[in-house]
Amino acid sequence: MDVFDAIRGRRSVRPETMDPDRPVPRDLIESLLEAANWAPSHGLTEPWRFVVFEGEARKALVEAAVSTLTDPGEPAPAPLDPRRLKMEQKMLVPPVIISISSAAPPNPKILEHEQIASVAIAVQNLHLAAFASGLGGFWTSGKKAFDPRVARFLGLEPGARCLGFFYLGYPTAPWPEGVRGAWQDKVQWRSR
């Protein structure tokens, strides 16, 4: 696939529209993670960190996410609580969920925003490779991703940050349309 076609055609495919019964082969997931690993980073710190959740392991991640629906110290929502059911129904459709984290900067020359920028590039690599492989992907963040209870569940080191979750699966709905404003509106030219 031509790189411009991949960039233009990549879309966020909603997790609810992914095929829950079609597993993503392990070697394909590995090839996407290898694409992610080619992202650039200041000082070659390679700060992207992923945890791949498949099968039953997804339920523990969803439980950690559900626990963020109540205040710290409060019990998690009850089994039939609509907020829990909504989150479970959404998060358990895709066969694969990958947590996205950035490592703490290893020295003062590397700034946190540089680490986060590199992780975002890694995720874009992964997403483009997923699209080129016929897979749908979706980066979601929201409050749950930034909650210390989720960081603890993921086992993040001090200074590391969870930046969200990447849902991965085969699409079952028509490929979404892309929408963008004109690139010209975001660019200034200074030639003299």
Rounded CA separation 22/58 (Å):
15
Nearer to ligand FMN, 55 or 134 (CB): 134
CA-wise closest residue to 164 among 190, 140, 135: 140
Nearer to ligand FMN, 94 or 164 (CB): 164
Rounded CA separation 173/53 (Å):
23
> Nearest distance from residue 15's CB to ligand FMN, in Å?
10
> Nearest distance from residue 50's CB to ligand FMN, in Å?
15
Rounded CA separation 37/33 (Å):
6
116: helix, coil or strand? helix
Nearer to ligand FMN, 11 or 149 (CB): 11
Nearer to ligand FMN, 12 or 23 (CB): 12
> Nearest distance from residue 148's CB to ligand FMN, in Å?
18
50 φ, ψ (degrees, to nearest 5): -130, 145
Write out the residues near ligand FMN by the rule CB under 6 A. Answer: 11-12, 139-142, 164, 176, 178
Q: Nearest residue by C-beta to ligand FMN?
A: 12
